[in-house]
Amino acid sequence: MAEDPHKPAVRPLSPFLTVYRWPITMATSIIHRATGVGLAGGLLVLTWWLVAAANGPESYDFFVGLAATALGQLVLFGFAWALAYHLVNGIRHLAWDLGYGFAVKTADRTGILVFVLSLLLAAGIFAAAWSGLGGYYQ
Amino acid sequence: MSLETPLHKAQGLGASHSGVGHFWRQRVTAVVLIPLSIWFAISLLGLYGAGEAAVLIFLANPLNAVLMGAFLVISLYHMTLGMQEVILDYVPHPGFKFFLMLCNWGFAFALAAAGVISLLIIIPRS
C-alpha cells in the first residue's frame, strides 16, 4: 500500500526549548528573538505617534494621555529595554559574525554583560527623563 | 571532490537557492541601525515632556525628518527579515506560513507608508 503523498510522514521531532536546562547563552539567544518580535509592536507605537502628530492636537493629546498612564510608561519602559537589549546583544552577534568571542567563558561573560548593560541603559533613560534631564528639545 | 555543477557553483546560491542575501541584508541593516537607534533614544529623551508644538518643530527639521524616516523604514526592513526567520522556524503549516509571510510584509509596508506620509504632512505645516 502506497503512502498518502499529501499526508506528511510522522517523523521524530528534534527536542524543543522545554527539554533543555537554560545556559546563559541560550537565554540570551531566545530573548534576542523575543525582543525582536516585541519591537515590531514598538514600531507600531512609533508609527502611531508620528500619525498622531500629523493628525492634529486631538490625536496627539490622546496618544500622550495614554503614554503618560502607569501602564503606558510600563509599556514604554518595556520597549526601551527591548531596544537596548536587541541593540547591545546585536552588537555581540555582529562580533560573533566577525569571529570574535566564541569561547564558552567569553560568551557567558558577554551574555551577562548584555543583561546588565541593557537594564542600565533602559533604567538610565527613564531615570534621566523622570528626574528632568530630558526635554532638552523644548 | 565537489558534486556541484559548474553552473550551480558559478551562481553561488547554494542549497537555499537564495544565497547569502537574507543574512547579508540583516547584518547591513543591523549595523546601520546602531547609530540610528542611539540617535533615536537621545531624540526621544530630548522630547520627553515636550508639548506637541516642540515635537512638530523637531520633526519638521529636515535632518530629524530624514533620520526618523530612515530609522522607521530600516527598522521595518530589519523586522521583516527577522520575522521571516521566526515564521519559517515555528510555523509548519504551509498555508498559514504563507499567510503570515504576507502579513509580515503588509505590516511593514503599511507602517512605512503611514510613518513617512505623516512626516511629509508635518514638514510643511510647521
Record the cell numbers describing residue B84, joined without a space.
521571516
Instruction: Report the number of distinct structural domains present in chain A.
Output: 1
Q: Say if the Cβ atoms of B30 and A134 lie within 8 Å.
A: no
- Hey, what's the cell of B97? 506560513
Per-residue pLDDT reduced to its tens digit, B63-117: 999 999 999 999 999 999 999 999 999 999 999 999 999 999 999 999 999 999 9
Residue A93 lies in a domain: yes
ipTM: 0.92
Residues A63-88 pLDDT 10s: 999 999 999 999 999 999 999 999 99
Range of the domain at A50: 24-127
DSSP symbol at B61: S
Closest by Cβ to B47, choosing from A46, A54, A137: A137
Quick check: A4 pLDDT over 80?
Answer: no
Determine contact, residues A131/A86, Cβ cutoff 8 Å: no
Check whether A98 has a pLDDT greater than 80: yes
Chain A residues with CB under 8 Å of B114 CB are: 47, 50-51
Using CB atoms, pick whichever of B58, B72, B86 lies closest to residue A137: B58
Q: Give how far Cα A88 sits from Cα of A54, A70, B31, B110, Å.
A: 32, 27, 12, 28
Flag whether pLDDT at A1 surpasses 70: no
Are B95 and B86 in contact, with CB atoms under 8 Å apart?
Answer: no
Number of residues that this document lists for chain A: 138
Domain CATH code at residue A88: 1.20.1300.10
Q: Is the pLDDT at B1 greater than 80, yes or no?
A: no
Question: Whole-number mean pLDDT of chain A?
Answer: 92
pLDDT at B18: 82
Query: Which residues from B are below 8 Å from A90, CB to CB?
Result: 30, 33-34
Residue B9 confidence (pLDDT): 87
pLDDT in the model for residue A116: 98
The domain B25-125: what is its CATH number?
1.20.1300.10
pTM score of the predicted model:
0.89
List Cβ neighbours of A24 (8 Å cut-off, separation of 6 or more): A107, A108, A111, A112
Report if residue A17 sits inside a domain.
no
Residues B54, A134: C-beta atoms closer than 8 Å: no
Domain ranges of chain B: 25-125
- A55 pLDDT more than 70: yes
pLDDT for residue A2: 58
Beta carbon pairs, A and B, within 8 Å: 99
